[in-house]
Structure 1
Amino acid sequence: MPTFTKDSPVYIYYPIFKWGVYGLLAINVVLFFLHETFIEGLETLAWVALLLLFEWETSQLDKPYTNKWEKYSIHIGRFIAYAVILYSAYEYATPEYRAENGPLDMYNSLTWLGIVALLEYDVYANGLYGRVEWHIRNTIKVILYAALFVYAGMWAYEGGILDFYDATLWIICFFAIELNIFKFEETLPYSGEEMGKDKPVS
């Protein structure tokens, strides 16, 4: 299990890894706008915005918001991103879309929504959960991420190289978010009695 002490290799190389994959994801957004539909490019951009908001939040889970503008900006950005993402999920679930493209996009979208729902809980209830709850939450995450790997493999099998690359890159990027959370959780006793970051700002 990785540790984040200042002299550990994980602590030293993790930021390089993290921002490297985020950079690849930025290139991926451009590829989607060039080679896929505008809506798919817009959805990808919304997911990138949500990812960066999670990066901002999870990289400082032990700190409060600096002011109300930071808090409201994050909430507004998250609201806009989720609006686009949920609309896309709805489109993937329509009978017309599934008849033309199959149900895989719908399954992928719903699985990601499950993951970000758990991440929202990680952000806003950090340090408030006990050990059993921690195990349950992370077991569900493992199942959801495993499903995403299956979807990526199915896209690769069907010859969707860009879809496979995109799916794999997103999984790696969200692993970076999970590592941010793990870094914070290393400091917690998981007793359910210790509190993490109290997010409200007066």
Structure 2
Amino acid sequence: MTGAPVKRYTLFRVFKYAVYLLLTCNVYAFFTENHAAAGAVFAHGLQFGKLIEAYNDSIDTLSWVLLLLVFELETFVLSDDKIRGWVKWSLNAVSAFCYLFILYSFYGYVAEMASLTHLLPLQQSACDLASQGGWLLAVGQDDYVPLTANNCAALADAHVLRQGGIQVLATVDTWNEIKWLAATDVVNAAAWVLVVVILAFDVWLQLRNELSDSMMRYSQVIKVLLYSTLMLCAIYWGINGSFLDFWDAFLWLVAFFFIEMNLFEWQAETSAE
């Protein structure tokens, strides 16, 4: 009888770490997507100040993967007596590094959304701009194609706007879709920041043996609301965004479900003792 629970526990751990591995692979997937978009939008050179805006998805995902590993070490892998001295300071240093880039990525999402408020009418027809070369047509968020004589003709009867500061244009409908997706990015990033702040506070209390059952319940209520918001963002991406955005959001929810389980079991063990 003892073999079945052990086998289920082993399968559970394999599944958990498979999810973590998939999230690590998503870093490369987002880098590829961001690099292609940055090469199109910043064809004349990418300034350092625009780096976070161009690669915000990949930088954000890498920071989150590192932070996820820190939480896994704190809540499951390492025993309480091991999180002392240089181990504790090392984990705190990695966490601080991740929080810095997560907040910076959040700024990148806000900056991207703000840039979409600066849309200008065309001074020339789309086909005139196509003949000049160097212009891009936005067909979705971070999805651009060169503006050519073939695709500009389809814009003749459409209301077309250009984005200020760069040579990108799109129809009003496409800009509206991109704005909603950018706003979803901001809401999603803000909700995740609040989740990890609360989770880090829970871990800090637990290490001090001060995470009571009542505190745990209040924390769970708030996080349920935040996780529900994140689920709605994932669903919106699944309907209107890219599959990669939806898949990444879904995996992160699963991954932090594991962290929450780790914390729940950790707190239950401490209470029993």
Aligned equivalent of 1:23: 21
Deviation at 1:56, TM superposition (A): 0.7
Q: Which has the higher contact order (CA 8 A, sep 6+)?
A: 1
Whether contact under 8 Å (2:211, 2:267) holds in the other structure is no
1:76 aligns with 2:158: no
Write the distance in 2 (CA, Å) between the matches of 1:66 and 1:140: 27
Write the distance in 2 (CA, Å) between the matches of 1:135 and 1:9: 31
What amino acid is aligned across from residue 133 of structure 1 in structure 2? Answer: M
Deviations 1:15-74 (A, max 9, x none): 111111011111111111111253321111111111111111111575223552212211
Change (3 A) 1:81 1:97: farther
Whether contact under 8 Å (2:56, 2:108) holds in the other structure is no
RMSD over aligned Cα, in angstroms? 2.3
Write the distance in 2 (CA, Å) between the matches of 1:21 and 1:162: 15
1:33 aligns with 2:35: no
Aligned residues: 186
Write the distance in 2 (CA, Å) between the matches of 1:141 and 1:10: 28
What amino acid is aligned across from residue 114 of structure 1 in structure 2? Answer: L
Write the distance in 2 (CA, Å) between the matches of 1:146 and 1:9: 32
Bigger Cα Rg: 2
Superposition pairs of residues 101-140 of structure 1, within 5 angstroms: 101=179, 102-126=182-206, 127-140=209-222
Deviation at 1:165, TM superposition (A): 0.6
Aligned equivalent of 1:151: 233
Deviation at 1:11, TM superposition (A): 3.1
Match of 1:58 among 75, 91, 114: 75
Change (3 A) 1:170 1:98: farther
Write the distance in 1 (CA, Å) between the matches of 2:234 and 2:88: 35
1:88 aligns with 2:116: no
What amino acid is aligned across from residue 33 of structure 1 in structure 2? Answer: F
Write the distance in 1 (CA, Å) between the matches of 2:222 and 2:78: 22
Whether contact under 8 Å (1:53, 1:74) holds in the other structure is yes
1:44 aligns with 2:44: no
What amino acid is aligned across from residue 24 of structure 1 in structure 2? Answer: L
Aligned equivalent of 1:164: 246
Write the distance in 2 (CA, Å) between the matches of 1:161 and 1:88: 21
Stretches of structure 1 lacking an aligned partner (at least 5 in a row):
1-5, 195-202
Aligned equivalent of 1:184: 266
Deviation at 1:103, TM superposition (A): 1.3
Write the distance in 2 (CA, Å) between the matches of 1:7 and 1:120: 31
Taking structure 2 as the reference length, the TM-score comes to 0.62
After TM superposition, which residue ranges in structure 1, 4 or more long, deviate above 6 angstroms? none
Choose between structure 1 and 2: higher strand proportion: 2
Percent identity at matched positions? 34
Deviations 1:70-116 (A, max 9, x none): 12211111111111100111222235246464311111011001110
Segment of structure 1 superposing worse, 134-143 or 86-95: 86-95
Write the distance in 2 (CA, Å) between the matches of 1:66 and 1:106: 34
Match of 1:142 among 192, 204, 224: 224
Segment of structure 1 superposing worse, 39-48 or 66-75: 66-75
Whether contact under 8 Å (1:32, 1:40) holds in the other structure is yes
Segment of structure 1 superposing worse, 54-63 or 136-145: 54-63
